[in-house]
Amino acid sequence: MFKIRLIILLLLMANSQVAFCQSAIGQLENITGQKINRYNTSNSSGYNMNSMITGMIAQSLISSMFSSGNKGYVPVREATSQQTYLITGISGEKQRVEMALRVEKYKRLMKAYKFLKDSSSLQYANYKPKDLNRIDSAWMTFQKKMINDRLNHENLWCKQYYRDLVKKDSGLSTINDYIPHKKSKELEPGDVILIGPTNDSYFSAKQAELDAWANNNNANVTHTVTCVKVVNGKRMFLDNQATEGPRLISEDEFYKRYGERETSVASLRQNPWGVAQPLNKEEGDQLWNKAKEMAQKNRDNTSPIPLATNYGLYGNDNMVCSETSWQLMNATGRYQIPFSKSMPLVTGIDFSPASFYSNQQYFLITPLQMSR
C-alpha cells in the first residue's frame, strides 16, 4: 500500500516538474489550452488562427510582464515609424551638409567682397537667408506622421483635463487656473515643444512678435522641437535649425541648446515653454466647447479676465473670427491662419513655428514644466 502511494506521489512530482521546467510559452499553452506553433510557419500551407490569437495573447502577456511599469496616467509610447525616422535622418544630414557648404561659401564671398568704407549698415552675419529657413519636406512628413500616429490613441491627458474642468467648474475663475502643467518626464512621442525667444536677442524677440501678429494670436513662440522617441526613459527630439537642417538630438543636447532660455524665465506664468499635444477631433471639440462655455460664464459674471496667456486650446473654427477681440478667446489660443499666404511678403518667413499646424488640427497647449 505504501509502495503504491509512493509511486503515485512520484508520478505527481514528475508531472509538476514538467510544469516547472516549461518555458513561459509552454506555461501559457497550459493556461490557454491551445498549442502554440513555435516553429517557422512558412512551410505550412495555411495559418492557424487559434495559434495566432494565442500567440498574440502570449506575446502581450510577456511584454506586459517584462516591460517597465507605466506609472502615472500618461502612457509613454515609442515611435513606430522607423523607416520615416531613417529617411528623415538621411535627408536632414544631406540638407545640413548643403547648408553648411552654402554658408561657408557665403562667408568666403563676404570676406573677399570689397565694401565701401561707410556702408556697413546691414549686418550679413545675423541674416538668415530665406532658403536656409525653409522647412525640409521629409521633416514635415515625419512631423505629420508622428501626429497622425498619436491621434490613433486616446489622449488620456485630455480626458483627465476635461474631467477636471467639469469637476471644478463652479470654483475657479479663469481657464488658466485649470490648465495643468505637463512635466518633461511625461513627454510623449508626437508632443511638440514650443520654445519662446531668447531674452538677449533682439532679432529673436522681433521674430516672435511678427510671428504672433501674422498668425493672429499671442503665441510667443519662435521655435518648435518634436519629441520623437523614448529610449530607456530618455527622450529624443527632432530639431530643425536653419543652418543645420532636421537633426535628431538627445535629451542632454536638448537641454544644452535650449536650457538657457529656460533659466532666463522668471516665473512659471511667463514661462515661454509650452507643449502642444495633438488631439483628435472629438477630443478637441469636447474640450473646446467646455472651455468656451466656461469662458462665456466668466464673461457674464466677472470683470475682464486679468491674465491672458497663450496657453489653452488651438484649433480652427470660423465661429471664432468674430470673437477674436475677446480677450479670453485669445487666452485660450484658438488658432487661425488668416495671413499665412501673405506672410512671406510681410516678414520674409515662409513657415514659422506658429503656423506649423494645419487648419484642421487640434492641439492642447499646456505649459511645460522642465526639470532636469
Partner 1 sequence: MLKFIYSTMILAAGMLMSCCTALQAQDSAVIKSARYKDSLLNIDLLRAEREVYYQLSLNKQSYEINHDAGNVAYNMGYPINVELSNQGVRFICAENRVFEVRFITLMDNKFKLFNTNSNIQGGMSVTEYKLKLGSTIISVKNERQLMLKSIANSFIKVQKLLNDLIFGMNVFEQTVATYKASPVRPAMIEEQRKYIIQAESHAKLYQYDKAIELLYKAAALHPVAYPNIYLNLAILLAETNRLHSAIYNMKKYLMLSPPPADEQFAKSRISEWEIILNN
**Closest alpha carbon to 265 in 198, 218, 201, 210:** 198
106 binds partner 1 (CB under 8 A): yes
* Three cell numbers written together for 183: 512635466
First-to-final CA distance of the chain: 72
Residues in the chain, overall count: 372
Single out the residue of 43, 113, 267, 303 in contact with partner 1 (rule: CB under 8 A). 113
Select from 47, 73, 124, 202 the one that contacts partner 1 (CB under 8 A). 124
CA distance 272 to 42: 55
List alpha helices for 113-170, DSSP H.
137-151, 156-167
Amino acid at 35: K
Which of 65, 116, 266, 345 lies at the binding interface for partner 1 (CB under 8 A)? 116
Give the shortest CB-124-to-partner 1 separation in angstroms: 4
Q: Does 119 bind partner 1 (CB under 8 A)?
A: yes
Which CB, 94 or 130, lies closer to partner 1? 130
Closer to partner 1 by CB, 71 or 111: give it.
Answer: 111
**Least distance to partner 1, CB of residue 137, Å:** 19
Of 119 and 360, the one with the shorter C-beta distance to partner 1 is 119
Tell me the closest approach of the beta carbon of residue 203 to partner 1, in angstroms.
15
Could you tell me the CA-to-CA distances from 213 to 185, 306, 356 in Å, in that order?
32, 21, 15
In which residue are the cell numbers 535622418 written? 89
Instruction: List the one residue from 122, 266, 319, 345 that touches partner 1 (CB under 8 A).
Output: 122
d(CA 331, CA 298): 13
Note whether 345 binds partner 1 by CB under 8 A: no
Residue span binding partner 1 (CB under 8 A) among the ranges 25-33, 107-115, 200-208, 217-225: 107-115
- 9 forms part of the interface with partner 1 (CB under 8 A): no
CA distances from 20 to 26, 55, 64, 88, 330 (A): 10, 20, 21, 48, 64
Task: Look at the alpha carbons of 169, 170, 176, 181 in this order and tell me if their dihedral is positive or negative.
Answer: negative
Contact status: 114 vs partner 1 (CB under 8 A): yes
Q: Measured between alpha carbons, how far is 89 from 138 in angstroms, rounded to an integer?
A: 9
Q: Between residues 120 and 170, which has the closer beta carbon with respect to partner 1? A: 120
**Bridge partners of 363?**
278, 314
For residue 335, the minimal CB distance to partner 1 (Å) is 32
Residue 169 in the binding site for partner 1 (CB under 8 A): no
Whole-number Å distance between alpha carbons of 77 and 34: 31
Least Å distance, CB 284 to partner 1, is 41
Q: Which of 294, 360, 368 is nearest to 331 (CA)?
A: 294
- Check binding of 105 to partner 1 (CB under 8 A): yes
| Helix intervals (H) in 67-134 | 82-112
> Cell match 498619436: residue?
150
260 binds partner 1 (CB under 8 A): no
x-marked contacts with partner 1 along 128-167 as a string, rule CB under 8 A? -xxx------------------------------------
Binding part of the chain for partner 1, among 115-123, 234-242, 298-306, 330-338 by CB under 8 A, reads 115-123
Could you give the CA distance from residue 222 to residue 214 in angstroms, rounded to a whole number? 13
Q: Which DSSP letter does residue 276 get?
A: E
Q: Are 77 and 228 in contact (CB under 8 A)?
A: no
Smallest distance, partner 1 to C-beta of residue 325, A: 37
**Residue 119 or residue 301: which is nearer to partner 1 going by CB?**
119
Q: Which stretch binds partner 1 (CB under 8 A): 32-40, 124-132, 189-197, 274-282?
A: 124-132
Closest separation in Å from C-beta 101 to partner 1:
13
Among 112, 266, 319, 345, binds partner 1 (CB under 8 A): 112
372 binds partner 1 (CB under 8 A): no
Question: What cell does 186 get?
Answer: 511625461
Contact residues toward partner 1 (CB under 8 A) are 105-106, 109-110, 112-116, 119, 122, 124, 127, 129-131
